[in-house]
């Protein structure tokens, strides 16, 4: 599904967060950036993943990481999700899927015997120079921070 791999240059994305602020790859130059894609705000797995990252946010900051969540949810839904769980990082409301498709995480999925297109839960760890250091496709929602901060 994901065509980007370790060592690739990260896509030069541009997307709006829950408050309408623009985020681009260039904004994070000099920092390690964790871009995590999740299917739907406020669902059990996505909530567990976001809360695990929130609970470890100080560790990320101490290690020069910035975090950016991305889903195709509308800005209002992202705002509600961010406020309800007090998430300290921005959430891109990628309704046109431009960021999702730039990273190659949109495609066929199976759930309860049904096939449909959707976002594959995938995380990209991008280094200070904009190169992908790691692609995590088997995200453990309750232990995701530990997968990144090994």
Looking from the CA of 62 toward its CB, the CA atoms found within 13 Å total 5
Side-chain-side CA neighbours of residue 135 (13 Å): 17
Strand order of the sheet with strand 132-136? 91-93, 65-71, 32-37, 122-126, 132-136
Which candidate in 46, 50, 53, 100 is catalytic?
Answer: 46
**Integer angstrom CA distances of residue 47 from 1, 6, 39, 53:** 23, 27, 11, 10
Q: Is 46 a catalytic residue?
A: yes
Distances in whole angstroms, Cα of residue 12 to Cα of each of 17, 51, 66, 88, 139: 16, 27, 16, 23, 23
The two tokens of residue 99 are: 């960021």
Q: 10 Å Cβ neighbour count for 46?
A: 22
Active-site residue set = 46
């Amino acid at each position: 599904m994901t065509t980007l791999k370790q060592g690739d240059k990260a896509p030069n994305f541009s997307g709006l967060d829950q408050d309408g602020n623009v985020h681009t790859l260039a904004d994070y130059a000099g920092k390690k950036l964790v871009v995590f894609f999740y299917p739907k705000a406020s669902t059990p797995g996505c909530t567990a993943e976001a809360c695990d990252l929130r609970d470890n946010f100080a560790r990320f900051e101490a290690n020069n990481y910035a975090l950016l969540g991305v889903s195709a949810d509308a800005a209002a839904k992202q705002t509600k999700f961010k406020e309800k769980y007090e998430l300290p990082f921005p959430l891109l409301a990628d309704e046109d899927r431009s960021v999702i498709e730039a990273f190659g995480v949109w495609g066929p999925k199976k759930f309860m015997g049904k096939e449909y297109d959707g976002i594959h839960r995938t995380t990209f760890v991008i280094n200070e120079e904009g190169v992908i250091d790691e692609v995590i496709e088997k995200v453990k929602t309750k232990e995701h921070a530990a997968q990144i901060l090994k």
